[in-house]
Structure 1
Amino acid sequence: MSETPILNFADASDGTAALPLHIVAKDGFEDWASSQTEAAQNWLTATGFKPVLGKTVLIPDDTGCPIMAVAGFGYATTRARGRFPLAAIAAALPAGTYVLATNLPWGDLETECLGWLLSQYVFDKYKKKSAHGARLICPAGIDAARVEAIAAGEALTRDLINTPASDMGPQDLEAATASLANTFDATLSVTTGDALLEQNFPMIHTVGRAAAPHRAPRLLDMSWGNAGPTLTLVGKGVCFDTGGLNLKPGGSMALMKKDMGGSATVLGLAHMIMALNLPLRLRVLIPAVENSVSGDAFRPGDVLTSRAGLTVEINNTDAEGRLVLADALALGSEDNPDLMISMATLTGAARVAVGPDLSPYYTDDTNVVTALETAASDVSDPVWRMPFWTPYEKMIEPAIADLDNAPAGGFAGSITAALFLRRFAEGQRYTHFDIYGWNPAPAPARPKGGVGMGARAILEALPKMLDL
C-alpha cells in the first residue's frame, strides 16, 4: 500500500488555532458581504474576489495576519455539474486548520465533509507526492468517526486499484484481504491452486491456471459478525486480464490492473461496514486470478462445468470475469443470505451505456431499488438501474452447453453478462453492479485513477435493505 495520509479531521483540542471559513454562494454573496466589517468589505473589493466555485481569499487584520477565509460556492447550476464542491474549496485553500463559520448553502454536510477528507488522498507508492495542507475541524452534529471510516474504506479501494499488477497479483490481493481481516477480527479461509478443483471451484481454477505458480488462482472467503441479517459481497478479483488466447490489443490492456476493481470496492465497503460495527453478518467472496496466456490457458470452444453444475461454452476467453464470479456466486447462494451483491469491472458495454461516472446495477428487488436510489442521491454516489431483461435469456443459451460466456452479435453486452450471473444466484435476493472503477480525469475529491463506485450508496442503503 502507499503511504497515503490518514484521511481524518483536524483535532480541535490540540491547541491549533482554526481559521473561520465562510462559504458563500454567488446568489447570497452581496447580503453576506454587507454584514461584514468595513475593512473586510474593502479587502474583498481590493482583491477582486468573486464567489465562483473554488475561489478563496484570506482576509487579514491590521497586522497582516489572516482572521478569516472566504470561499465561493458558485451557483446551483455550477454545483450540479459535479460533485463535492467543498472538496474543490479545500484543495484551493492555503495549508492550515479551518472551521466552518457558516452553514453550507447547498448539499449534505456529512457528504461534503467526506469530500474534504477524500481531497487529501494521494497515491505515492512509486512517486513522492504531497496532499494539500488544508485541514478541517469536524463540524458540530457530524459523526467524525463515521466519516473517517468511510474515507478509509474508499482510500483502501483506491490504493488497491492503483497498484500495478506487478505488486497486486492474486497473492497480494490475498495479503490485503488478510490484513483487513486481522484488523477487524474477521476469519479468512483461502482455497488455492489445485485445491480449487478438489473443493469444486472449477471455473476459478480454469481461468487462473495459466498464471505463474506464485500467482495461482484462489478463492478468498472472509466472514465477520455473529448476529443480524446476512450480507454476502462478491467481488471480481481478476488482477490482470490479458484477454487470454483472445488476446487484447495493447490499448485495451493498458488499464487491466483495474480489472480487480470489483474486489477492491467490496473490500473498501467491507472496511466501512466493520469499522462502523453494523449489526449484520458479513461474508466477502473474492475469486482472485490472473487471466494469462500459456500452454495451459483455456481455449475458445472449451466447455466448462461450473460449481452449480451448469455447463458453459467458452466463445471468448476475454469474458473471464463472469466465469470466476459464477463459482463464487454459487458458493454464496448455498447459505441463502438475506442479500447478495456482486461488484465487477465486467463489461465495456456498461461504460458505453453510462460512461465512467455512474454505477449501473441490476436487481429484481424493488425495495433495493428504492433504498439505493435514495441513498445514492443523498451521498453523491450516483447509480443507474439497468434491466434484468429476461427475454434476452435465449442470447446466453448456445446449442452445445447450458450457457454461453460471450454471445455473438454484440447487443446488450452488459445485460447478457448480468443475466449470466443471475443464473448462479438463482433464488437469491441478488443485486449486481457493473462498475468501471477508474476516474479518467481529475475532479474534486476524485483524482485521476482508481475510485470506489457504488460502495457508499450501498452502505447508506443497508439499513433499509436489511432492516437494520
Structure 2
Amino acid sequence: MKPDIRIKPAAKAGRAHRIALLPGVPGDPFADLPPALGRSARALAAMRGFEAQLGQRLLLFHGDVQWLFAGLGPLQALERPGFTEAVGRALAELACNGGATLDLLLPAGLTWDVEAQARWATEALAMAGYAFDPYRSKPARERRLDVALVAPPQAATGSRRGGSAGRRGAQAAMQRGIDAGLHAGAGIHLARDLVNHPAVVADPDFVLTQARALAHEVGARLEIIRGEALRRQGYGAIYAVGAAATAPPALAALEYGRRRRGRPTVALVGKGVTFDSGGLDLKTSGGMALMKKDLGGAALVLGALRAIAGLRLPVHLVAVVGLAENAVGPRSYHPGDVLRSKAGPTIEVTNTDAEGRLVLADALALARRFKPTHLIDFATLTGACSIALGKDLLGLFCDDAALRGALQDAAAATGEALWPLPLWAPYRKKLESGVADLINATSDGFAGAITAALFLREFAGDVAWAHLDCYAWSDGDHPLFPKGGNGIGIRLLIDAVTSIVEGDLHVTG
C-alpha cells in the first residue's frame, strides 16, 4: 500500500510526537525550549554525550510528549545534504510501520529562508517515507505520514514585516516550500515505482501507460512510435533490441511547455530496457538478477518531468524514453548484425548485451528533432562505471564546460554526487568497424564506460550534451533511499534545469 504523505505548515507544536532540529556547539542547543523541557533535555544530553552534532539524536519523554532531538552541528557548516539526511534519520527513528503523526520543528539561525527549509525538509520526508509493497499477499496496514512543519520564531521570509503579518508570511512561505518539496517527492516516487515493479509487469507497454498518464497529468504533448512503426520510420537500432520480446519496443516523447525566443529547450533522454537478459550474448544468473532496474534511466527522466512540471519552471522540456526488453527468442538480433540507426550511422553488433547504447542512439535522434539547446541522457549503461565509482556516484561525461558546471553545482547542492570522466578522443578508434560505421561494444575489457559514452556522442549532434551513467538501485543502507529503485538524479536535474532556465551557468575546467 502506498504511503499517504501529508505535510502542512503550523504556527506551533501540538502533537504527541515531535522532532526538533537543533544547532550544535557553540552555544546551548536547548536554549529555545521551554525552561522545564530544556532542563530535562540538558540533563539527559549530559549523560548521553549529546552535543547536537550532525548525526546525533536524543530521545526524551517529557510529560505526554515524545521528543526526538536531531543534531545539525554548527549551522555555518551545515549544507543541504546534511540537513535532509538528519530529517530522514529522525523520521526513521520515530516512524512506526512506515507511518507517523508528528511535528517537525525547524531550527532558528539557518542562513536559508523558511521556504527553503520547508522544501528540503519535505523532500527528505517524502523520500524517507516511501514504501513499495503492492505484491504482498496481505495488504500492509495503511501508512500515513502526517507532519506539521513548525517555523522557528522570527523565521526569515524575505519580508521585514513583524507581528501577525510576519507570521502569515512565514506560513505562506512554508506552504510554497512544502508544495515544491512534494512535487520533487512525487517525481522520485514515480521513478522508484517504475524500477521496483517486476519486469513481467513493467514491460514497454506498461511504461507507455505510465507515460500517457503523466502527459495527461502535467499537460504535456505525447508522441509514441511503437513496434513496426519504428522499423518503417528508420529507428532500426531500438527495433532490433526489442524485436524478440512479447511487448514491442517503443519510443515516447513528452513535450512540456513551448519553444519561445530566449527560452532554453532542454531534452532529457532515458534508457528504458525493461529487462536485460543480455540477448543471445546471455548474462549469467547473477548478472541478470537485478536487470528489472535497467529501465532506471527512463524512470529518472519521467520522474524529473513530473517534478519540473509541478514546479512550473519556465522551460521548454522534452523527455524521451527508449523502451525495449532485451529478450531471447526467434527474432533476437545477433552478434554480427549490422543495424541502421535513425541518425544515419550503421552499427555492427559485436555484443547483444551492449543494447542500451543502441536504444539511446535512436532515442537521442528523436530528441534532436526538437532542436534542444541542452541534451542530457541518463542510463544504467555500463558495469564498468559502477566498478569504477561504486553504486552511489553518477559517472558524468560532458565536454561542454557550462553544462558540466551546472550539473556539478547541482550535484554539490543536492548531495546526488557525480564524478566527471573523460571523453578520451584517442579511444574513439576502438569503435571502428570493418563492415559498418561503428561497433556497439569493444571486447578488450578496458575503458568500457568511456567507449560507451564516445559511442553515444556520435548521436548527440552539435549541442551541449551530457551523459550520466547511473546505477539506479539502493541497498537500503541510507534513510532517504529505501532498498530498491532510488530516483537518484531527479533532484540534481531539478537544480540543473533551474540553473539553465535562469542562465546561472559558469564554466568549469
Q: Which amino acid in 1 is paired with 2:131?
A: V
Q: Deviations over 1:170-210 (max 9, x none)?
A: 00000010010011121212121111111111111111010
Q: Distance in 2 between matches of 1:138 and 1:164?
A: 40
> CA–CA distance in 2 between the matches of 1:136 and 1:106?
22
CA drift at 1:283: 1.5
CA spacing shift, 1:19–1:102, aligned 2, 3 Å: farther
Q: Is the 8 A contact 1:55 1:92 kept in 2?
A: no
Residue 342 of structure 1 contacts residue 433 of structure 1 at CA under 8 Å; is this kept in 2? yes
Question: Match of 2:8, SS?
Answer: coil
Structure 1 counterpart of 2:344, one-letter code: G
**2:124 alignment partner in structure 1:** 115
The aligned residue for residue 221 of structure 1 is 253
* Contact 1:221/1:285, CA 8 A, preserved across alignment: yes
Structure 2 counterpart of 1:23: 21
Q: Which moved more, 1:324-333 or 1:123-132?
A: 123-132
- For 2:124 and 2:82, the matched residues in 1 are separated by 16
Query: Contact (CA 8 Å) 1:356, 1:440: kept in 2 or not?
Result: no
Q: 1:10 aligns with which of 4, 8, 11?
A: 8
For 1:117, the aligned partner's letter is A
What SS does the corresponding residue of 1:400 show, helix, strand or coil?
A: coil
Distance 1:218 1:435, change over 3 A: same
User: Which of 208, 211, 227 is matched with 1:193 structurally?
Assistant: 227
- Structure 2 CA distance for partners of 1:159 and 1:252, relative to 1, 3 Å: same
| Number of the residue aligned with 1:158 | 192
2:43 to 22, 42, 45: 45
Alignment pair present for 1:247 and 2:282: yes
C-alpha separation in 1, matches of 2:388 and 2:150: 38
**Which residue type is aligned with residue 100 of structure 1?**
L
What is the match of residue 97 of structure 1?
Answer: 102
> In the alignment, what sits opposite 1:235?
270
Aligned equivalent of 1:32: 30
Shift of 1:442: 2.6
Partner of 1:342: helix, strand, or coil? strand
Which residue in 1 is equivalent to 2:57? 55
How many Å apart are 1:9 and its aligned residue? 1.3
Show the 5 A alignment for 1:285-364.
285-364=320-399
Q: Which structure 2 residue ranges, 5 or more long, are not aligned?
A: 152-169, 504-509
Q: How does 1:68-217 map to 2 (within 5 A)?
A: 69-73=68-72, 84-93=85-94, 95-100=100-105, 102-103=107-108, 109=117, 110-127=119-136, 128-129=139-140, 131=143, 133=145, 135-137=147-149, 139=151, 140=170, 141-142=173-174, 143-212=177-246, 215-217=247-249
3-state SS of 1:236 partner: strand
Cα gap change, 1:217 to 1:39, in 2 (>3 Å): closer
Match of 1:373 in 2: 408
| Corresponding residue to 2:485 among 439, 450, 468 | 450
Amino acid at match of 1:92: E
Stretches of structure 1 lacking an aligned partner (at least 5 in a row) = none
Question: SS at the partner of 1:191?
Answer: strand
How far, CA to CA, are the matches of 2:65 and 2:16 in structure 1? 11
CA distance in 1, matches of 2:491, 2:365: 26
Identity %: 36
* CA shift in 2, pair 1:466/1:390, >3 Å: farther
Superposition TM-score, scaled by structure 2 size:
0.83
Q: Deviations over 1:49-101 (max 9, x none)?
A: 435635342442xxx32285433446879x98996122101221263321315
Query: Per-residue deviation at 1:386?
Result: 1.4
Give the secondary structure class of the aligned counterpart of 2:7. coil
Cα deviation, 1:235-277, whole Å, max 9, x if unaligned, reads: 1110000000000000010000000000000000000111111
The size of the alignment, in residue pairs, is 461
Q: CA deviation at 1:336?
A: 2.3
Residue 285 of structure 1 deviates from its aligned partner by 1.4
Q: C-alpha distance in 2, partners of 1:14/1:102? A: 13
* Residues 222-231 or 158-167, more deviating: 222-231
In structure 2, how many angstroms separate the alpha carbons of the residues matched to 1:463 and 1:203? 33
Mapped contact 2:14–2:103 kept (Cα < 8 A): no
1:37–1:204 distance in 2 versus 1, CA, 3 Å: same
Query: What code does the residue aligned with 1:438 have?
Result: W
Distance 1:34 1:157 in 2: 40
Q: Is the 8 A contact 2:103 2:150 kept in 1?
A: no
- Structure 1 residues 35, 133: closer, same or farther in 2, change over 3 A? closer
Aligned runs of 1:406-445 on 2, under 5 Å?
Answer: 406-445=441-480
| SS across alignment from 1:32 | coil
Contact 2:106 2:150 in 1 (8 A): no
Q: Distance in 2 between matches of 1:278 and 1:463?
A: 7
Aligned partners of 1:146 and 1:276 also within 8 Å: yes
What pairs up with 1:279-290 in 2 under 5 angstroms? 279-290=314-325
- Return closer, same or farther for 1:460/1:231 CA change in 2, 3 Å cut-off: same
Q: Structure 1 residues 300 and 23, CA, compared in 2 at 3 Å: closer, same or farther?
A: same
CA distance in 1, matches of 2:499, 2:460: 21
The amino acid that maps onto 1:223 is: E
Q: Find the aligned partners of 1:287 and 1:31 in 2 and give their Cα distance.
A: 51
State whether residues 225 and 280 of structure 1, in contact with CA within 8 Å, keep that contact through their aligned partners in structure 2.
yes
Distance in 2 (CA, whole Å) between partners of 1:88 and 1:155 is 19
Question: Does the aligned pair in 2 maintain the 1:9–1:117 contact within 8 Å?
Answer: no
Amino acid at match of 1:111: W
Distance 1:331 1:39 in 2: 61
CA contact (8 A) 1:84 1:112 kept: no
Distance 2:13 2:72 in 1: 29
2:191·2:302 contact (CA, 8 Å) conserved in 1?
yes
> In the alignment, residue 101 of structure 2 is paired with which amino acid?
G
Do the aligned residues in 2 keep the contact of 1:223 with 1:281 (CA within 8 Å)? yes
Counterparts of 2:229 and 2:130, CA distance in 1 = 39
Hey, what's the Cα distance between the residues in 1 that align with 2:356 and 2:107?
Answer: 48
**C-alpha RMSD of matched pairs (Å):** 2.9
User: What is the deviation of 1:465?
Assistant: 2.4
